[in-house]
Chain A
Amino acid sequence: MSNTDFALSIEDLTVSFDGFKAVDGLNLYVDNNELRVVIGPNGAGKTTVLDLICGKTKSTAGSIKFRNKELTKLAEHEIVHAGVGRKFQTPSIYENLSVYDNLEVSYPKGRSVFGSLAFKRTDAVDARIREIADEIFLGDFLDIEAALLSHGQKQWLEIGMLLIQNPELLMLDEPVAGMSVKERDQTAELLSRICKGRSVLVIEHDMDFVAKIAHKVTVLHQGKILAEGDMQTVKNDPNVIEVYLGH
C-alpha cells in the first residue's frame, strides 16, 4: 500500500463476521486539521470502522495507515501511542474516581507498570489537568466523583481524557448523545476549537449538530460509502435521500 499525504488513509478495508461483511472494501481519507463526520443509518458499520481503527476489532483485509504507519497489526495500546484517541458511544469514564483522577490516569506519562509506580504529580501535570478541565467546562468539578456528573458532563470528561493525551487523530462516537441544547452548542464550540492541529473523526446522528461542525461528511450504508462531500451536497444526494427516507 502506497504512502499518502493524508493523516488517515483507509484502503480496501473489510471485516467479516461469520460471512457478514460489516465493512466492505472501504476507502476513506482524512486530512490534517480536518473534522470529518460519518453518518449513516443503523447497522451501516460506523462504529465498526472506529473499532477497526483503534484495534478493538481486527480487520479481515485492507489497510489502515495513520501518518503512513500501518495500524492493523498493532496492539490497542500501541495504536494509542501512535497518536489515536477514541471516545466510546456510552461515556466510558471511571465512575469511582474523581474528575481529577480520571484525567490524571489518562495523562500520557507513567504508562508502564514501573513508570506508573514512580509517577509523580508534578506542577506540570497538575497545570495540564486544570487546563484540560477548564477546556471541557469541568474546571469547578475536579474533586467531584465522576459518577455524580450529568450525562453530558461525562461525555465531556471522556473527551478531556483523550485531549490530555494530545492525540493527532481524535475519534468521537456520538459525542452529543443525551445532551441538552445548550450543552450541544458548547460541545460544537469545543470541537471546532480542538480540531486545530489534529484530525477529528466524529460519528453523529443529530443532523443540526453535524451541519454545525462538519468540514466534510461521509455517508456509510451497508459497510460501504454511499456519498461523501460537504453537508449540502450530501443532503441533496438522491442515494442518501433514498436510504434515509426511502424505506
Chain B
Amino acid sequence: MKFIYERLLGGKKGAIGIAILAVLILIILPLGLDIFRLNLVGKYLTYAFVAVSLVLLWGYGGILSLGQGVFFGLGGYCMAMFLKLEASDPISTKIQSTPGIPDFMDWNQLTELPWFWVPFHSFSFTILAVILMPAIFALIIGYSMFKRRVGGVYFAIITQAIALILTVLIVGQQGYTGGINGITDLRTLHGWDIREDSAKYILYFVNAMLLFGVIFIGRYILTSKFGRLLLAMRDKEDRVRFSGYDVSNFKIFIFCISAAISAIGGAMFTLQVGFMSPSFVGIVPSIEMVIYAAVGGRMSLIGVVYGTLLVNYGKTMFSETFPELWLFLMGGLFIAVVMYFPNGLAGVWEKHGKRMVDYIKALQVVESFLTLVTNKLAVKSGSVSK
C-alpha cells in the first residue's frame, strides 16, 4: 500500500495531481463533450503518451529526441497492419485481382502478401510487436549512438534524420506500406466495429487507463535510484561514469522505454482515428510533440498531459479560423516557453498557482474570522439590548 502511494502516485502531491487529472479525463470530459469532440480528445491523449515519454527521456534524461514520431508511427503501423488484414478478408475484397490482400497492395500489382505482413494476422503478435518493435529499433539506434558517446545536438539531429528517412521509406514503398495515404479504411477488431460510437467510448477509456498506467510506470522509474541517476547524468555525466556506472546502458534503457511508451500511443491513435499515415511519423509531428512536452513542463509527467491537450485545443480552434497563422503561433509559443517558462505550465503552477491557492485560503481565513467577530458582536449587542 505504501509502495503504491509513494512509488506510483508520488506521495500526497503526486496523488492529488493524478486525482484531478483522472476526474477531468474520466468524468468531466466524457460527460461534457459529444462523441465527436471526445474522440478528438482521445486522439490528443494518444500524443500525450509521447509527451510523457519525452519527460523521461528529455526532461530527466537530458536526451532530446526529435524523432519520437518514428516510434509513435511504428506502434501505429503495427496496429494498422493487423486491422487492415482483418478488413481485407477474401469475401470483402473479392473484386480485387488478388482477393485477400489489402486493397493498396492490389492497386500496386502485388499478388501475394509480403512475408513481414503475415504474422500480423495474430492479435497477440501485434500487441507484442507494438511494444517490442519500436523498443528494439530504439535499442539499435541507442546502442550505436550512446556507446560511442554521441549526445546533445548531434543526437537530436540524427533522430530527426531517422524520422525523415522512415517517412521517405514509407512513402516510397507504396505497395508494402500504403504510401503517402497510409493504411486507411480500418473497420473491425476481432469482429468488433471500431467505427461505432459505443466502440469510440470504450476505446477512449482504454486509452485513458493506458495513459495513467504509463504515468505510473514513469513515476516508478523517476522515484527509483534510476531516476536520480538520470538527473545526475544530465548534470555531470562524467561524475556518474567515474562513480562506477556504465552511463550508455542507462541512456539506452530510457530511450527504449520512451520508444515503447510512444508506440502504445501510436497504436491507440490508429484504433481511435481509424487510419495511420506517414504524416504522423516525420519531422513536423515529432517536433510538435516536443512542443507539447515543453509547454506542459518537461519535468512533470502530469503537466505534459495538460500541455498536449491545451496546444491541440488551440490548434483545433485556431486552425479552424486562421489556418495560415497557426504554425507561426506554434513557433512563437515554443520560443516563449523556452525563453520565459522553461518548466512550462507545471513550472508556472509551481511558482504562481500555489501562491494563488494560499492567497484564496488566507482570504477564507480572514472571512471566517470576520464572520466570527460580527456574530460575537451581534450576540453581544443582542444581549445588551435585552
Residues of A within 8 A of B (CB): 54, 56, 75-77, 80-81, 85-86, 88, 92-97, 101-102, 104-106, 108, 110-113, 116-119, 158, 161, 165
Check B231–A119 contact: CB distance below 8 A: no
Check B245–A119 contact: CB distance below 8 A: no
CA distance A106 to B242 in the complex (A): 10
Check A94–B232 contact: CB distance below 8 A: yes
A116 CB contacts on chain B under 8 angstroms: 224-226, 229, 250
Distance in Å from the Cβ of B379 to the closest Cβ of chain A?
48
Check B235–A161 contact: CB distance below 8 A: no
Check B239–A77 contact: CB distance below 8 A: no
Partner of B242, one of A86, A110, A117, A119: A86
Check B242–A76 contact: CB distance below 8 A: yes
Distance in Å from the Cβ of A106 to the closest Cβ of chain B?
5
Distance in Å from the Cβ of B62 to the closest Cβ of chain A?
11
Check B242–A105 contact: CB distance below 8 A: no
B243 CB contacts on chain A under 8 angstroms: 80, 105-106, 161, 165
The proximity string for B residues 235-251 relative to A, scoring 1 for CB distances below 8 Å and 0 otherwise, is 11011111111110110
Distance in Å from the Cβ of A92 to the closest Cβ of chain B?
4
Other A-B pairs, 20, CB within 8 Å; known A80-B242, A117-B220: A77-B242, A77-B245, A80-B243, A85-B242, A88-B242, A92-B236, A92-B238, A92-B239, A94-B236, A96-B231, A104-B225, A105-B229, A108-B244, A111-B245, A113-B226, A116-B226, A116-B229, A117-B226, A161-B243, A165-B244
Chain B: interface residue total (CB-CB under 8 A): 24
Q: Is B146 an interface residue (CB 8 A)?
A: no
CA distance A95 to B241 in the complex (A): 16
Question: Can you name 29 A-B pairs with beta carbons within 8 Å?
Answer: A54-B242, A56-B238, A77-B245, A77-B246, A80-B243, A88-B238, A88-B242, A92-B239, A94-B231, A94-B232, A95-B235, A96-B231, A97-B231, A104-B228, A105-B228, A105-B229, A105-B232, A105-B240, A106-B243, A113-B249, A117-B221, A117-B224, A117-B226, A118-B224, A119-B224, A119-B225, A119-B226, A161-B239, A165-B244
8 A Cβ contacts from B52-79 to A: none
B232 CB contacts on chain A under 8 angstroms: 94, 97, 102, 105
Check A113–B224 contact: CB distance below 8 A: no
